[in-house]
Amino acid sequence: MEFEHLLEVNEAAAPVLDRDMLWFGLLCRAEDARPFLPGLDSCRIIARTEGELVRELHFGAALIRDRVILGAPDWIRFESEASSAHAGGSLTISIEEQGSVLLLRFHYQTSLGDASREEAACADFVRSAYCQSDFDTLNVIRALVTAKPVH
């Protein structure tokens, strides 16, 4: 299944986020995904190179390994390895501008099919869950970049 959608960043939102704030928030998701992924117990970086991280994500007993590729400052890609606990796939989040409108594009590629009736129903459910998760991601970024330091 391949799926993408756009979120308008500053649609009726205060405070307004700029491109640098969005990029910072995406880097936060790369470094520690726990605030962005409910149910994630730990996020451990096991390798780091220029523009790339390899992480282990622990959801209870399930372990997912992924690679995060940083296309600074325009996009970030999360590539999950297939395993017995996870089908694998990728998510690319791009920062885009259309005139004065700032957008986040979420592009998913998964091994989930949508040819049969059952697969199509599952794909619809997954698309809906992805959209909600992406909306939540934007809200977490907004909270992170607008948080006031504690004195």
What is the structure's pLDDT at 88? 87
Beta bridge partners of 5: 106
Mean per-residue pLDDT, 137-151 = 80
Distance (Å) of CA 26 to CA 61, 74, 134: 26, 10, 12
Classified by CATH at the fold level, domain 2-146 comes out as Alpha-D-Glucose-1,6-Bisphosphate; Chain A, domain 4 (3.30.530)
Alpha-carbon distance of 139 to 129, in angstroms, equals 15
pTM score: 0.90
Residue type, 147: A
DSSP string, 78-137: EEEPP-SS---EEEEEEEEEETTEEEEEEEEEES---SSHHHHHHHHHHHHHHHHHHHHH
What would the pLDDT profile of 100-127 be if each residue is shown by its tens digit? 899 999 999 987 665 566 667 777 888 8
Mean per-residue pLDDT, 78-97 = 91
Q: What angle do CA 17, 19, 21 make, to 5 degrees?
A: 55
Q: Are the C-beta atoms of residues 53 and 67 closer than 8 Å to each other?
A: yes
Domains of the chain by residue range: 2-146
What would the pLDDT profile of 17-44 be if each residue is shown by its tens digit? 999 999 999 999 999 999 999 999 999 9
